[in-house]
Amino acid sequence: MASQKRIAKELADCTTHAPAGMSIALATDSDVHKWHVTLDGPAESIYSGGKFGLVVTLPPEYPFKAPVVTFATRIYHPNVTNDNVGSICLGLLKAENWKPASKLLSVLQAVRLLLVEPQPDDPLESRIADEYRRDRAEFDKNARAYVQRYAKGPVKFDGTNVGADAGAAGGSGKRSTG
């Protein structure tokens, strides 16, 4: 029950103090363990103009176990799997770094910052990270193409705006563990 109270408090904090361009709602009224987050691509990023869906899943052991955050919207990014799963590599969410005192608002702020400042040295998609480091113009072109293709219009959390073609704009390359 303490977990439920903590989650309710954090949901209230997140909805009241959400970062600019972000809205948070429960996936269903009856389940506080799954949140739908809509994130506008930050103006200072290559993802500007896009709308991205994030799914935040809180395990029953929360806050002693980290939440799982995935992109519901396909995104071309070195720290997000280039597939229909959208797993994120974020240091704060790694088991060895997660602390029960960590807050979901900090997690959401860190995801937003990851769009502004990708971390190519800790990638899930090595090929995209290499492209980011070696050919920034090509990376920017591919990222913008993904924004146009997947992140325009209303955000869908049912998997219909992740696409099935991992080969678009270069596709999925060699993966790292993030």
Q: Which residues are catalytic?
A: 89
Rounded Cα gap, residues 154 and 32, in angstroms = 23
Using the structure block, give the residue that is written with the tokens 């997947």: 150
C-alpha to C-alpha distances, 104 to 10, 54, 166, nearest whole angstrom: 7, 13, 30
Rounded distance between C-alpha atoms, residue 40 and residue 139, angstroms: 20
Residue 178: which of 133, 134, 131, 114 has the closest Cα?
114
Through-space distance between the first and last CA atoms of the chain, rounded to whole angstroms: 33
